[in-house]
């Protein structure tokens, strides 16, 4: 069946959009879905170990969120830096767009200026900054890139990082991992459940909206990933893989060869997983509840089935689960 963008729409009450995380992190709720029985169970994330296969390896994305949101004049002007070409040349989404026309030099704040050298069709600007991005002048204007449905609150910056975040480079958090605490990870380790770390720097590929009704016309932005030799060995020895988050899925499915064979390496992936995709590597998935019409929802639908995805989301809404980045979690077995 050929699905369209509208097939992935649903209505979510605004009060179910989580504005802050629960405390402790692992006290988020957990919806557990068994694909073999189609059974649903409602629980809490701290009981995750009761449902994971004892021989599974958790695959987590250790990318760390960088403060790539630059706001000036009390938020009236904004640069969302998506990539850095060199110290003072960046690609960025801007607001308001009319102020950042091609060839124009914009006065920001604190003596900082931004000259727009190119405007792409998707609105992405190539900008030359008056100061290097790592210069101290920029520090007062750097903010955590919370999604637009979460109010900017820098006091939550640390909670928008996973406890195992290491490699700086993401423009958004790999949010399924936000539910883990050091204590929960240690409990799982004591159970014999292993953990392997991959890196995918979350960028436009993950959160850019789909604007075409026909899914095969959507162009995914590529995102950089890395798999080191130690992790490749761990994955090749694993009997069962539980991906923590859609970003981990994208790394595993981009790299996996025949018979779940993994080789070390790095590169860019623009893999776009929609219903009908045959998974090569992932056996179970931990994920959050995603936005309507998003590529993340399409990936989850591919993993659990289109009709079942809608059934579970209606269950989650009826049971008042908390949605999106700071929301509750789901385990798909």
Q: Answer whether residue 259 shows pLDDT above 80.
A: no
b/e map 83-120, b = 16+ CB within 10 Å: bbeeebebbbbbeeeeebeeeeebebbeebebbbeebe
CATH code of the domain made up of 69-143: 2.40.10.240
Give the residues across from 168 on adjacent strands.
Answer: 64
**329, 184 Cβ separation under 8 angstroms:** no
Give the pLDDT confidence of 210-230 residue by residue, as tens digits.
999 999 999 898 999 999 999
**CA angle, 62 as apex, 150 and 301 as ends, to 5°?**
65
What mean pLDDT is predicted for residues 241-257? Answer: 96
| Beta pairing partners, 115 | 105, 128
**Band (19; pLDDT cuts 50, 70, 90):** very high
Q: What is the pLDDT of residue 209?
A: 86
Structure tokens that stand for 294 in this block: 């998003």
Cα–Cα distance for residue pair 200/272, rounded to 1 Å: 15
- Residue range(s) of every CATH 2.40.10.240 domain in the chain: 69-143
Task: Give the pLDDT band (50/70/90) at residue 329.
Answer: very high
Each residue's pLDDT tens digit, 269-296 = 999 999 999 999 999 999 999 999 999 9
pLDDT at 10 over 90: yes
Q: pLDDT digit string (tens) for 94-151?
A: 999 999 999 999 999 999 999 999 999 888 999 999 999 999 999 999 999 999 899 9
Right CATH number for 5-65+154-332 from 3.40.1780.10, 3.90.180.10, 3.30.70.330, 3.40.50.300?
3.40.1780.10
Q: CATH 3.40.1780.10 spans which residues of the chain?
A: 5-65+154-332
Average pLDDT, integer, range 31-60 = 98
Residue percentage of the chain with pLDDT more than 90: 91
pLDDT score of 148:
87
Residue 207 pLDDT greater than 80, yes or no: no
* Percent share of the chain, pLDDT over 70: 100
d(CA 185, CA 164): 10
Q: What is the pTM of this model?
A: 0.94
- Find the radius of gyration of the CA atoms of the chain: 20
């Amino acid at each position: 069946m050929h699905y369209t963008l509208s097939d992935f729409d649903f209505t979510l009450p605004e009060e179910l959009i989580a504005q802050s995380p629960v405390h402790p992190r692992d006290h988020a709720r957990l919806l557990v879905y068994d694909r073999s029985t189609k059974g649903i169970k409602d629980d809490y994330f701290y009981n995750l170990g009761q449902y994971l296969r004892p021989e599974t390896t958790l695959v987590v994305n250790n990318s760390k969120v960088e403060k790539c949101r630059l706001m000036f004049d009390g938020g009236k002007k904004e640069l969302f830096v998506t990539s850095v070409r060199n110290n003072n040349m960046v690609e960025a989404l801007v607001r308001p767009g009319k102020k950042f026309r091609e060839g124009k030099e914009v006065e920001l704040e604190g003596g900082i200026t931004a000259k727009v050298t190119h405007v792409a069709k998707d609105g992405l600007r190539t900008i030359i900054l008056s100061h290097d991005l790592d210069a101290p002048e920029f520090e007062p204007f750097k903010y955590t890139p919370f999604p637009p449905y979460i109010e900017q609150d820098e006091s939550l910056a640390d909670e928008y990082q996973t406890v195992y975040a290491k490699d700086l480079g993401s423009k958004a958090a790999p949010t399924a991992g936000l539910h883990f605490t050091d204590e929960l990870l240690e409990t799982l380790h004591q159970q014999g459940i292993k953990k392997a770390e991959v890196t995918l720097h979350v960028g436009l590929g993950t959160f850019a909206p789909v604007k075409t009704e026909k899914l095969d016309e959507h162009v995914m932005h590529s995102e950089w990933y890395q798999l080191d030799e130690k992790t490749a060995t761990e994955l090749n020895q694993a009997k069962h893989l539980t991906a923590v988050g859609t970003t981990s899925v994208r790394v595993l499915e981009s790299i996996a060869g025949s018979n779940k064979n993994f080789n070390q390496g790095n590169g860019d992936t623009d893999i776009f997983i929609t219903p009908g995709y045959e998974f090569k590597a992932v056996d179970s998935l931990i994920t959050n509840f995603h936005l309507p019409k998003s590529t993340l929802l399409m990936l989850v639908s591919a993993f659990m089935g289109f009709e079942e995805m809608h059934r579970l989301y209606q269950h989650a809404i009826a049971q008042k689960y908390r949605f999106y980045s700071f929301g509750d979690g789901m385990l798909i077995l």
